[in-house]
Copies of this chain bind each other. A is one copy, B any other.
Amino acid sequence: MDEPVLLTGAVGRVGQAILRHIGTDYEWRLLDRAPMSSSKRPEGIDADDIYIGDVTDADDVREAIDGCRAVVHLAGDPRPEAPWDSVLQNNIDGTQTMFEAAVEAGVEKFAFASSNHAVGAYETESRTPDLYRPDDDYRLDGTEPPRPTNLYGVSKATGEVLGRYYHDHHGLSVVNVRIGNLTEGHPPIDYERGQAMWLSYRDCAHLFERCLLADYDYETIYGISDNDRKYYSIEGAREALGYDPQDNSAEWDGDDHVDGER
């Protein structure tokens, strides 16, 4: 892919994971609301490739997206407890603005950062905590309709539906990545749910790289590592994108933490 890839929300954890691992492999453009501190600006990104603007501002987005072949849209209010007015504006309106501009600019692929919070209410009392354990075979696979945990999750589910519309009517390839629990270095400790949906930084970067390289129409997949504990299937990501995760939260269980570059 020679044309630039627009990445929104690069200062967040997902953006940092992506840029740290594949920041020098693509020609990135970054769109963020505030100027990026030098510590967050990765190697290989020129100051000229950083656009300051808001994803809810169509003009800002148009300027940044012009000439891009693909979009990785991460920007938005990332707080599960975010109030409605904020997710309505930043996540729902912002995502529609991004899709509209992507179609106008002739973008081919659009990876949307959805969330486990779009489906968190499948974790009913009767299913938990068994759900989080390695011997439980319950799986969500991306074909199930959303059951949001909060209004943030509602906003992510709406982004997925927007993608469906822009795919069906404008031919854009869209992949919704329902991101699990992304933590740097090691999985969450003493938190079974977080271990079950752990996504390592390198698997995260690899997954979004597959979103740039694979051929797909409209997909909703789960973004987690290949954890022994899991209730999200990664088969959809394997099949649709060629995702091949390297990490597993079980390798960190107990006392025998595995060392290695992560």
Contacts and interface: CB of A to CB of B under 8 A. Distances in A.
Nearest to A145: B145
Given A146-B164, A161-B148, A96 B121 contact: no
Contacts of A92: 88, 92, 158
B121 A165 contact: yes
A184 interface: no
A151 interface: yes
A72 interface: no
A30 interface: no
A88 B93 contact: yes
Interface residues of A, number: 25
A228 to B, nearest CB: 28
* Secondary structure class of chain A's binding surface, majority of residues: helix
A145 B164 CA distance: 10
A168 B117 CA distance: 13
A53 interface: no
B88 A168 contact: no
Given A84-B96, A88-B93, A96-B84, A165 B145 contact: no
27 contacts: A88-B88, A88-B92, A88-B93, A92-B92, A96-B151, A121-B164, A121-B165, A121-B169, A143-B145, A145-B145, A146-B164, A147-B168, A148-B161, A148-B164, A148-B165, A149-B169, A150-B165, A151-B165, A153-B165, A154-B158, A154-B161, A154-B162, A154-B165, A157-B158, A157-B161, A158-B158, A158-B161
